Amino acid sequence: MGTSWLVIGNIPKLVSLPLGLQHLFRLKTLGIHECHGLRSLLPVFQHLSFLEEFSISNCKELELSAPNFQIFQDHTSLRSLALAKIPKCRHLPEWLQHQTNLPRLILCDLPNLTSLPDENQFGRVLYETNSSVGGKMSEGDWCRLA
């Protein structure tokens, strides 16, 4: 039996995920926190196809652009996705708009996020109240619990 959960945290100079992680194909829970230098989840993340819970926070250099974030589209086991304090997150990935089996999505303190997903799309969507969505939405629009 392999490792089922892993937390990578407080490694400010980490630029990419260690290649050895791709061999933890039975990993179910992954948390990445306080890795300010992390730029990408590739090429490791696409091998973690059994992942059920993924949270990432306080990664200042992480790019969640469409090409890099397409890696999630084959993660049909994913049940919870939490994104917090990722200043370079401007858009949620396009595949997320078509995701129907993600019961829980948590978005917190994403100051440059310009749009939110449809609240009827997910089982539960949580938004942090002290964030703004490009300054274009009111606090009432931002703080919704579906």
> Measured between alpha carbons, how far is 122 from 112 in angstroms, rounded to an integer?
22
User: Which residues of 73-113 form beta strands (DSSP E)?
Assistant: 80-84, 104-108
Q: What is the pLDDT of residues 95-135, one digit of tens each?
A: 666 666 778 888 888 888 887 766 666 655 666 544 444 44
pTM above 0.75, yes or no: yes
Lowest mean pLDDT segment, chosen from 19-28, 88-97, 104-113 = 88-97
DSSP annotation of 141 reads H
Q: Which two tokens stand for residue 39?
A: 């730029």
> Measured between alpha carbons, how far is 82 from 95 in angstroms, rounded to an integer?
16
All structural domains of the chain, each given as residue ranges with its CATH number in brackets, are 5-142 (3.80.10)
